Chains A and B, each alone.
Chain A
């Protein structure tokens, strides 16, 4: 177990922005959450799954939101509701503990992304426990059942939900893995978001390879640290991120077109890039559902989920969050291999390109280079 410094935390959030693949929550809100907690004197601790005793428990906590803006009538109705003092993620986490009659020793990040990873870390700091150096995806993902514990054959329920108004929900059992998403997404749409806690997991399981994505917080920290050090020493920060994350430079060019829409609470769209330099004459396209999922180069499938696709701004190295594109913006597309948890038949069923309706088999990024 180690206590994280301000710089450790900044590195983690920056690293998460590259591994969030265009989603994973707001970078600036994630950073503000960390700074606010530090200003309040809270302490962030990171704990390896290997430090858990077999019978100790941890659980994931994260927020589920809706990108659809509420109607004026709904907004007025929400304004009359009471507010709880606690963060909804921490409230959901406590509710799950109460339901299971257990005291959890750590939170688990629901994904690696600047918003949702910091939500779990902040909940841990508020409750006074550690954050596990692990998450349930190894990147950011659009749906709740893209959860490595499911890919390992475990259950992610019971789950708890809490709104900022004080509503509390327990999901004791689900009929199919996709049902947790259905229930909490629906609750989020009538509450302007909901805090969720799920994947209660015993130490004996958390320590096993292939159940959680172990070391993913430290990995994000390494990526963010590489970026910082490259900026400070005037080296290419994008190359530093690729080196730290074992990634690949997939394409480079200018954004020429993009479209997006709100579809059932998800941000769905695509972006097209016209190649420059050694990619001159080529067109690269990325489709996303909150997070970047599949890509094409000159009409042929290129890197797909579960591998990571991230767009960065060329002149600053900033990872682009969907859909903050600007036409004519010079961008570099980078990619990283997914956690091995996903490269199994069940993993690909949950997070392969066909899961999202793209008729192509998964080809690992390293085999495309």
Chain B
């Protein structure tokens, strides 16, 4: 079935080389498939804009209780939703999601409660992941609240180092349709306007 190799190498070596070629081809094919799958996955994600308040000292009490009850698990990120149910947030009612993040790889004892920039970035990365995995949202723009960010001061010794976040998620497509610009977030306190209302 197979001709003798002209370079005089053994059949075993040839089989090994063929196996490597085959494996490489399979790997390339798998890689391509994975990339296609990733593109398909990405294409199913809804583009959203995110306004994130990181280090909220007053999370919903329901979330605090959930985290207390889960204090012996390994879950680093505990989540609750939300103000507008499972539907994608429309421009008229942005979705509110509260997240509790348990930080383990950073040492908060360097600081008395301030959440440093590097820790905020770590929290933001985890938030992006969970929004993709659990909500199938792709965050196209993130605005972080300018208020200072804190470690949660309560339950700290028993439930790990907690950071609570309040997320406001807006559907970018709805915004693009002309209902509301998706990249302009403001609160009365932060805006430069002189008059406000609901």
Q: A228-B153, A260-B196, A317-B61 are known; give 9 further A-B pairs, CB within 8 A.
A: A6-B153, A31-B150, A32-B148, A35-B113, A38-B112, A232-B154, A262-B195, A313-B58, A315-B60
Q: Kindly state whether residue B187 has any CB partner on chain A within 8 Å.
A: yes
Q: In the complex, how many angstroms separate the beta carbon of A177 from the nearest chain B beta carbon?
A: 29
A315 pairs with B57, CB closer than 8 A: no
Q: How far is the CA of A324 from the CA of B147 in the complex (A)?
A: 13
- Establish whether residues A260 and B188, one from each chain, have CB atoms under 8 Å apart when the complex forms: yes
Tell yes or no: B197 within 8 A of A by CB.
yes
Contact A10 B153 (CB under 8 A): yes
Q: Are A324 and B154 in contact (CB under 8 A)?
A: no
Contacting residues of chain A (231-272) with chain B, CB-CB under 8 angstroms: 231-232, 234, 237, 255, 257-262, 269
Residue pair B196, A39 in contact (C-beta under 8 Å): no
CB distance from A329 to the nearest CB of B (A): 10
In the complex the two chains form, what is the Cα distance from A39 to B150 in whole Å?
A: 13
Q: Which residues of B contact A343 (CB under 8 A)?
A: none
Chain A contacts to B: CB under 8 angstroms: 6-7, 10, 14, 26-29, 31-32, 34-36, 38-39, 68-69, 228, 231-232, 234, 237, 255, 257-262, 269, 313, 315-318, 321, 323-325, 327
- In the complex, identify which listed stretch (B14-22, B43-51, B62-70, B123-131) lies at the interface while the others stay far away: B62-70
Q: What are 27 contact pairs spanning A and B, CB under 8 A?
A: A6-B153, A28-B150, A32-B114, A32-B148, A32-B150, A35-B111, A35-B150, A38-B113, A232-B154, A232-B155, A237-B61, A259-B196, A259-B197, A260-B195, A260-B196, A262-B194, A262-B195, A269-B196, A313-B58, A315-B62, A316-B59, A318-B57, A318-B58, A323-B188, A324-B187, A324-B188, A324-B189
Which of B59, B113, B150, B192 neighbours the largest number of chain A CB atoms within 10 Å of its CB? B113
User: Are B150 and A260 in contact, CB atoms less than 8 angstroms apart?
Assistant: no
Question: Complex Cα distance A237/B62, Å?
Answer: 12
Q: Which 4 A-B pairs have the closest CB atoms?
A: A318-B58, A32-B148, A38-B112, A35-B113
Are B194 and A325 in contact, with the CB atoms below 8 A? Answer: no
Kindly list chain A residues whose C-beta atoms are within 8 Å of the C-beta of B195.
Answer: 260-262
| B:154-198 near A, CB below 8 Å | 154-155, 187-189, 192, 194-198
Interface size class of B (residues with CB under 8 A): 20 to 34
Contacts of A257 in B (CB 8 A): 197-198
Given A260-B188, A313-B58: A323 and B196 interface contact (C-beta under 8 Å): yes
Asked if B154 and A316 make an inter-chain contact with CB atoms under 8 angstroms apart, the answer reads no
Q: What's the minimum C-beta distance from A12 to chain B, rounded to whole angstroms?
A: 12
Contact, CB under 8 Å: B59 / A35: no
Min CB–CB distance B136 → chain A (angstroms): 26
When C-beta atoms are compared, the residue in chain A nearest to B198 turns out to be A327
Q: Please give, as numbers and ranges, the residues of chain B lying within 8 Å of A255 by CB-CB distance.
A: 198
Chain A residues in 8 Å Cβ range of B197: 257-260
Q: Is the CB of A261 within 8 A of B61?
A: no
Q: How far is the CB of A19 from chain B (nearest CB, A)?
A: 16
Nearest-neighbour CB distance to chain B for A30, whole angstroms, equals: 10
CA–CA, A69 and B191, complex, Å: 9
A27 to B187, CA, bound (A): 16
Write the chain B residue with the least CB distance to A272.
B198
Please give, as numbers and ranges, the residues of chain B lying within 8 Å of A31 by CB-CB distance. Answer: 57, 113, 148, 150
Set of chain A residues within 8 Å of B60, measured between Cβ atoms: 315-316
Distance of A352 Cα from B148 Cα, bound (Å): 35
**Could you tell me the distance between the alpha carbons of A259 and B197 in the complex, rounded to whole angstroms?**
4
Partner of A35, one of B61, B68, B114, B189: B114
Q: Are A28 and B196 in contact (CB-based, < 8 A)?
A: no
Q: How far is the CA of A316 from the CA of B65 in the complex (A)?
A: 11
Q: With A231-B64, A313-B58 given, is the CB distance from A261 to B112 under 8 Å? A: no
Q: Which of A29, A39, A234, A327 sits near B112, CB closer than 8 Å? A: A39
| B187 contact set on A, CB distance < 8 A | 324
A231 to B153, alpha carbons, bound, how many Å? 11
* Contact pick for B61, options A39, A228, A231, A325, CB 8 Å: A231
Q: Which residues in B have their C-beta under 8 angstroms from that of A34? A: 112-113
What 1/0 mask marks residues of chain B from 97 to 120 whose CB sits below 8 Å from any chain A CB?
A: 000000000000001111000000
**C-alpha spacing A313/B57, complex, angstroms:** 13
Interchain nearest-CB distance for A204 vs B (Å): 37
Question: Distance in Å from the Cβ of B70 to the closest Cβ of chain A?
Answer: 14
Indicate which residue in B58, B154, B194 contacts A261 across the interface (CB closer than 8 Å). B194
